[in-house]
Amino acid sequence: MSQNRITTLLQQDKKLLIAYYMPEFPVIGSTLPVLEALEASGADIIELGMPYSDPIGDGPVIQEAAHTAIRNGVTIRHLLELVRRARLGEGCRKITAPILLMGYCNPVIAYGVDSFLHDAREAGVDGLLIPDLPPEEAADFLAKAKKIGLTVVFLVSPVTPPERIELIDALSTDFSYCLAVNGTTGTAKLSDAATESMVDDYLKRVRQHARKKFVVGFGIKDKARVEHMWGLADGAVVGTALLQHIAASATPEECARLAGEFWKTLR
């Protein structure tokens, strides 16, 4: 079994810039061109949403993107086929960046956990982030994922106590994901001094209690915020701002162009 791309990437001494994208948003046929544009523009890891009708942890932008993806025919099976095509270079330049799937438990259970893990790995997926899978209840899932070489990422929040940060850090395969603030995606306001100070203190606390690397997401919209987070964490995740930038696209080609242009501004 070849080494997981995420594991390989995290062995490098570099700050990560991670893109979150909802497949087939905003128009059918966008996924492969957008993946190509994001990789070419410097995305270190590409996080793909698994659209779900009730994405409780997501704000209005990602919720609407998920509903659009569902209307555009995206299922887990379709998503895995898109990943497979991306890895083979069918319909785009061959994608070599690590791919992380983010989604909720219900669609995975409906698909069948064992089948999902096997099919994800076979398609070329490198890692999984399941926000509503509690670490304390994830032992079986984690063991099965690790056995076939899939990274599993768990979430840390600003109210996570030190002992739980240590637990999440220990259970996350390669890195953990810190939510910058409590709330849903895209609703965080990181620009005021009080919030910024609290986020900084929180991430410093994570650094004290985590042995592995960690990235931070929610509310990161521009280069200045990316660079600030790089000073506190090992990577920054940008999702809502990317989706907002491409939302009005009428064609896959326009969507990919706008995605690439926006991503270059973050670098």
On the question of pLDDT at 12 being above 90, the answer is yes
156: CATH: 3.20.20.70
Average pLDDT in the chain: 94
How many domains would you assign to the chain?
1
CB count within 10 Å of CB 132 equals 13
> Is position 10 within any domain?
no
Environment class of residue 112 by beta-carbon count within 10 Å: exposed (0-12), middle (13-18) or buried (19+)? exposed
The catalytic residues are 47, 58
> Is position 157 within any domain?
yes
Q: Which pair of structure tokens corresponds to residue 1?
A: 């079994």
> Is position 176 within any domain?
yes
> Is position 24 within any domain?
yes
Element (H, E) at 261: helix 252-266
pLDDT in tens, 96-151: 999 999 999 999 999 999 999 999 999 999 999 999 999 999 999 999 999 999 99
On the question of pLDDT at 183 being above 60, the answer is no
On the question of pLDDT at 182 being above 90, the answer is no
CA–CA distance, 47 with 127 (Å, rounded to integer)? 9
What confidence score (pLDDT) does residue 186 get?
47
> Is position 75 within any domain?
yes
What confidence score (pLDDT) does residue 191 get?
54
> Is position 153 within any domain?
yes
Contacts of 235 (CB under 8 A, 6+ apart): 15, 16, 17, 18, 44, 45, 175, 213, 214, 215, 216, 229
Contacts of 245 (CB under 8 A, 6+ apart): 258, 259, 262
Helix, strand, coil in percent for the chain, rounding step 5: 50, 15, 40
CA–CA distance, 161 with 164 (Å, rounded to integer)? 5
Would you place residue 193 in the very low, low, confident or very high pLDDT band (cuts 50, 70, 90)?
low
> Is position 2 within any domain?
no
CA–CA distance, 234 with 226 (Å, rounded to integer)? 11
pLDDT in tens, 220-252: 999 999 999 999 999 999 999 999 999 999 999
Range of the domain at 192: 15-266
> Is position 246 within any domain?
yes
- What share of the chain has pLDDT > 70, as a percent? 93
Would you place residue 59 in the very low, low, confident or very high pLDDT band (cuts 50, 70, 90)?
confident
On the question of pLDDT at 195 being above 90, the answer is no
Peptide bond preceding 26 in cis form (omega within 30 of 0):
yes
